[in-house]
Amino acid sequence: MQYSTVRKLMVAGVLAIAATVGGCASMSKDECLVTDWRTVGYEDGVAGYAGNQIAQHRKACAKHGVAPDLSAYQAGRNSGLREFCVAQNGFRVGARGASYNGVCPADLEPAFLGAYETGRELNRLRARVTNTANRIDSLHNEVDNIDRDLIATAAQIMKPDTTIEQRAQLALDTRNMAERRGVARSEIPRLEGELVLYRRDLANFRRHLAYVE
Is residue 103 domain-shared with residue 176, that is, in the same domain? yes
When computed from its CA atoms, the radius of gyration of the chain, rounded to whole angstroms, is 28
Domain ends where: 61, 84, 107?
A: 84
**pLDDT at residue 191 in the model:** 98
Q: Which residues have a Cβ under 8 Å from the Cβ of 186 and sit 6 or more positions away?
A: none
Read off the pLDDT of residues 108-133 as tens digits, 9 standing for 90 and up: 999 999 999 999 999 999 999 999 99
**pLDDT at residue 26 in the model:** 57
Instruction: Give Cα separations from 52 to 22, 31, 80 (angstroms).
Output: 12, 20, 15
Is residue 92 domain-shared with residue 78, that is, in the same domain? no
Is residue 53 domain-shared with residue 104, that is, in the same domain? no
**pLDDT at residue 2 in the model:** 41
CA distance 55 to 98: 22
How many structural domains comprise the chain? Answer: 2
Residues found in the chain: 213
Mean local confidence (pLDDT), 29-46: 88
Q: Which domain holds residue 177?
A: 88-213
CA distance 80 to 90: 14
Q: Which amino acid does the sequence have at 178? A: A
Domain ends where: 84, 102, 136?
A: 84
Is residue 95 domain-shared with residue 143, that is, in the same domain? yes
Long-range contacts for 182-186 (Cβ within 8 Å, ≥24 apart)?
Answer: 184/139, 184/142, 184/143, 184/146, 185/139, 185/143
The pLDDT mean for the chain works out to 88
User: Is pLDDT at 89 greater than 80 in this prediction?
Assistant: yes
> Which phi and psi (to 5°) does residue 173 adopt?
-60, -40
Q: Which residues have a Cβ under 8 Å from the Cβ of 3 and sit 6 or more positions away?
A: none
Name the nearest CA neighbour of 117 among 100, 139, 138, 134.
Answer: 100
Q: Which residues have a Cβ under 8 Å from the Cβ of 169 and sit 6 or more positions away?
A: none
Domain ends where: 84, 117, 142?
A: 84
Q: What percent of the chain has pLDDT over 70?
A: 88
Is residue 98 domain-shared with residue 71, that is, in the same domain? no
